[in-house]
Amino acid sequence: MEKSDWQNLGFGYCDTDYNIRCYYRDGAWGELEISSSNIINLHMAATALHYGQEAFEGLKAFKGKDGKTRIFRMKENALRMQSSSDGILMAGFPVEKFMEAVRLVVKMNKRFIPPYESGASLYIRPLLIGTSPEIGVKPASEYLFIVFVMPVGPYFPEGFKPTDLVIMRDYDRTAPLGTGKYKVGGNYAASMNAGKLAKKQGFSAVLYLDSKEKKYIDECGPANFFGIKNNTYITPLSESILPSITNKSLMVLAEEMGLKVEKRKVLYDELPEFEEIGACGTAAVISPIKGIYDVDKDKWFRYGDEPGKWSVKLYNKLRAIQYGDEPDKYHWTDIVE
């Protein structure tokens, strides 16, 4: 690929050379298999297709100035996939095997890792599905784990330029005691209608309130929420949001920079008080928010057209660790030679 092509990448699917697969049969996971096909052969009554036995992950690998490739916090993704599997009764994929599969898929597709200068990265998508047939609602006895990769640019086309979010009380992404804390396909299906409406009206994503009382901030469709005020990084504590690995990392970096960090319920009524707002996640990295529009109250909350100073600092620090520009003192990255 030409340099300009790497730089102009968006967040979209493209084929790469290889993916890694592993099958669960007779109560045990088999060996990792390398495949060059993007097709899977699936039983029409597989539980993944009918009853949503499906979990996925998202993580990234970064090419450094030193030519080394670093994978960011993959053990955390392995553990979260186990939590998702437990949440919808799928066979858990072993953590060590997950990391071995991720290293292998990155190595096998190394020609697709964007160069350092491009600011792009290699997105890694692990997937776990129930494959055996059931027509009653119950868990499958067989599973397939796959991991594939693709080079990507920013998730929100604006990149690090501030965008707008929208609050719409007519849509919930997940139930109060539902599956919001797991990374399962059903949550994303549930967010599509609201997401489409938001995009059509020029917003980058929906900001969901808690589905029970609509009193607290939950998260965005594809990313966690944080706000900064009075030198404090504040992010919602909620049973119905995905525990974001990016957010967890930003909390550490915020504290290191001298901010106070609070993980607690965040009231909708606090929105006017924030000096900076961000959406954070693997795909989104940090997406600074310039405005939040409340559809039901026809009301705007504004945060400025430029990224706030703490958001800039956090973004630069996180990226520096991911690309290996700064020492990895928290041991967050795994180098693939």
- The residues that touch ligand COI, with contacts defined as CB under 6 A, are 58, 222, 281-283
Residue 275 contacts by C-beta under 8 Å, 6 or more apart in sequence?
228, 229, 303, 308
Q: Indicate the pairing of strand 54-56 with strand 232-236.
A: unpaired
Rounded to a whole number of angstroms, the minimum distance from the CB of residue 147 to ligand PLP is 15
142 binds, among ligand COI, ligand PLP, none (CB under 5 to 8 A by kind): none
Q: Is 183 a catalytic residue?
A: yes
Binding mask 207-226 for ligand PLP (x = CB under 6 A): ------------x--xxx--
User: For ligand COI, which is the closer residue by CB, 58 or 139?
Assistant: 58
- 8 A C-beta contact, residue 182 and residue 87: yes
End-to-end CA separation in angstroms for the chain: 21
- 8 A C-beta contact, residue 22 and residue 32: yes
163 binds ligand PLP (CB under 6 A): no
Among 186, 281, 288, 307, binds ligand PLP (CB under 6 A): 281
Residue 292 contacts by C-beta under 8 Å, 6 or more apart in sequence?
164, 165, 166, 167, 207, 271, 277, 300, 301, 303
Among 105, 147, 194, 242, binds ligand PLP (CB under 6 A): 242
Neighbouring CB atoms inside 10 A of 334's CB total 18
List 60, 63, 181, 183, catalytic entry: 183
Name the one range near ligand PLP by CB under 6 A: 19-27, 36-44, 122-130, 241-249.
241-249
User: For ligand PLP, which is the closer residue by CB, 46 or 223?
Assistant: 223
Six-digit token string for 116: 């350092």
User: For ligand PLP, which is the closer residue by CB, 195 or 222?
Assistant: 222
Q: Which residue is nearest to ligand PLP (CB)?
A: 281
85 binds ligand PLP (CB under 6 A): no
Name the one range near ligand PLP by CB under 6 A: 41-49, 226-234, 245-253, 261-269.
245-253
Name the one range near ligand PLP by CB under 6 A: 39-47, 105-113, 238-246, 318-326.
238-246
Rounded to a whole number of angstroms, the minimum distance from the CB of residue 58 to ligand PLP is 5
58 binds ligand PLP (CB under 6 A): yes
For residue 293, the Cα-to-chain-centroid distance in whole angstroms is 23
User: For ligand PLP, which is the closer residue by CB, 109 or 247?
Assistant: 247
Please choose, from the candidates 63, 60, 81, the residue with its C-alpha nearest in 3D space to the C-alpha of residue 71: 60
Cα-atom radius of gyration of the chain, to the nearest Å? 20
What is 98-158 written as a DSSP string?
HHHHHHHHHHHTGGGSPPGGGT-EEEEEEEEEE-SB-SSS---S-EEEEEEEEEE--SSTT
- For the annotated catalytic residues, the residue numbers are 183
Give contact residues for ligand PLP (rule: CB under 6 A). Answer: 58, 219, 222-224, 242, 244-247, 281-282
